[in-house]
C-alpha cells in the first residue's frame, strides 16, 4: 500500500470513528466537541501519525517510551510546529523513563504511585518550561499488577488519594484528572460508571481536574455515556498491524 492509499484508508477509518463518537454523544445528550479523540499509534509508524495530523487529529498516544521518543522526533521533523500533535503517554511508566517522556509528552495518563509522581515531577521541573499534565490511573478491580492506583489499599504508595495529592502538590505537574481501563471481568458500562464517581469526588477538591480518560475502540460508547472527555482509539483508526521492530 502506497502513502496515498494509506492516507485514504486512515481518512475513512477516522470518519467512521468520528461518527461513532457523535452517535454516542447524541445518545448521552452530549456535544461531540466535549470528547477528545486520542489516536493510539503504538506499533504504527511515524508516517501514520503524520497522516493523522494532516487529517486534523490533534492528539496522539503511545505506551512505550522506546518507541515513542524516536517517533515523536521523526514526526516533529516532518511537520511544521503548528501542525505537530499533542503527545499523550498512556502506558505503564517506569521511573527511569520519566526524563525521556517529559521531553515529548504533554500529558501522562498512567500515574499510579507516589514514587512515580516524585520522579515525574523532578524530570518535568528540570526538562520543561510548563507543568506536565498528569492523570491518576485508577484500578477499577484492585489488581495493581495491571497498573492503577487503588481506592482502598494499605499501600500508601499506590493509594489513589495519596497519588492525587502528590501530583497536586508538585510544581512540575498539574493534576488534570483520571484514567482507567475497563477490566475484562467487569461490564464496561459499570466500570466507567465507577470511574465517573471517582472523577466527581476528585473534582470536589480539585476543580481543574476535569479530564476523564476512558474508552477504547470496543467500548467508547459506554465511556462517553459516563462522561469520558478523552477516548483512546487505536485499532478502529489504524487497523491491526504487527509490532514495530
Nearest to 133 by CA among 90, 97, 172: 172
Question: Structural domain tally of the chain?
Answer: 1
Its pTM stands at 0.94
Measure the CA–CA gap between 230 and 220, rounded to whole angstroms: 10
Paired sense of beta strands 86-89 and 59-62, if any: parallel
- The answer as to whether 164 is a domain residue is yes
Among the listed residues 168, 163, 174, 179, the one whose alpha carbon sits nearest the alpha carbon of residue 230: 179
Within-domain flag for 243: no
CA–CA gap between residue 232 and residue 88 (Å, rounded): 10
**Residue 167 within any structural domain of the chain:** yes
Residue-range definition of the domain harbouring residue 231: 3-238
CATH number at residue 113: 3.20.20.10
Q: Is residue 102 part of a domain?
A: yes
Write the CA distances from 169 to 8, 105, 110, 113, integer angstroms.
46, 20, 18, 14
Question: pLDDT tens digit string along 188-202?
Answer: 999 999 999 999 999
- Given a cut of 60, whether residue 148 has pLDDT beyond it is yes
Does the residue 225 lie in any domain? yes
Q: Quick check: is 108 in a domain?
A: yes
Q: What is the pLDDT of residues 75-115, one digit of tens each?
A: 999 998 778 899 999 999 999 999 999 999 999 999 999 99
Give the tens place of pLDDT for each residue, 173-223. 999 999 999 998 889 999 999 999 999 999 999 999 999 999 999 999 999
- On whether residue 244 sits in a domain, the answer given is no
Kindly state whether residue 82 falls inside one of the protein's structural domains: yes
| 57 grid coordinates | 487529529
| 134: CB partners within 8 A, 6+ apart | 107, 108, 111, 117, 120, 167, 173, 174, 175, 176
Contacts of 85 (CB under 8 A, 6+ apart): 49, 52, 53, 57, 58, 59, 60, 75
| pLDDT over 70, % of the chain | 98
Amino acid at each position: 500500500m502506497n502513502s496515498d492509499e494509506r492516507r485514504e484508508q486512515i481518512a475513512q477509518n477516522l470518519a467512521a470513528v468520528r461518527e461513532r463518537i457523535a452517535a454516542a454523544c447524541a445518545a448521552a445528550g452530549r456535544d461531540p466537541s466535549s470528547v477528545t479523540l486520542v489516536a493510539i499509534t503504538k506499533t504504527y509508524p511515524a508516517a501514520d501519525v503524520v497522516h493523522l495530523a494532516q487529517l486534523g487529529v490533534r492528539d496522539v498516544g503511545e505506551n512505550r517510551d522506546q518507541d515513542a521518543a524516536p517517533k515523536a522526533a521523526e514526526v516533529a521533523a516532518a511537520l511544521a510546529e503548528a501542525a505537530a500533535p499533542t503527545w499523550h503517554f498512556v502506558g505503564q511508566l517506569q521511573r527511569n523513563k520519566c526524563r525521556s517522556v517529559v521531553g515529548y509528552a504533554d500529558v501522562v495518563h498512567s500515574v499510579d504511585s507516589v514514587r512515580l509522581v516524585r520522579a515525574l515531577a523532578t524530570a518535568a521541573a528540570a526538562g520543561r518550561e510548563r507543568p506536565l499534565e498528569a492523570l491518576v490511573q485508577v484500578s477499577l478491580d484492585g489488581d495493581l499488577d495491571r497498573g492503577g492506583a487503588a481506592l482502598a489499599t494499605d499501600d500508601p504508595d499506590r493509594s489513589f488519594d495519596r497519588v492525587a495529592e502528590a501530583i497536586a502538590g508538585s510544581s512540575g505537574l498539574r493534576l488534570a484528572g483520571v484514567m482507567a481501563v475497563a477490566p475484562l471481568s467487569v461490564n464496561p458500562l459499570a466500570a466507567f460508571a465507577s470511574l465517573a464517581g471517582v472523577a466527581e469526588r476528585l473534582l470536589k477538591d480539585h476543580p481543574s481536574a476535569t479530564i476523564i480518560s476512558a474508552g477504547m475502540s470496543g467500548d467508547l460508547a459506554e465511556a462517553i455515556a459516563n462522561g469520558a472527555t478523552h477516548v483512546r482509539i487505536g485499532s478502529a483508526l489504524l487497523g491491526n498491524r504487527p509490532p514495530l521492530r
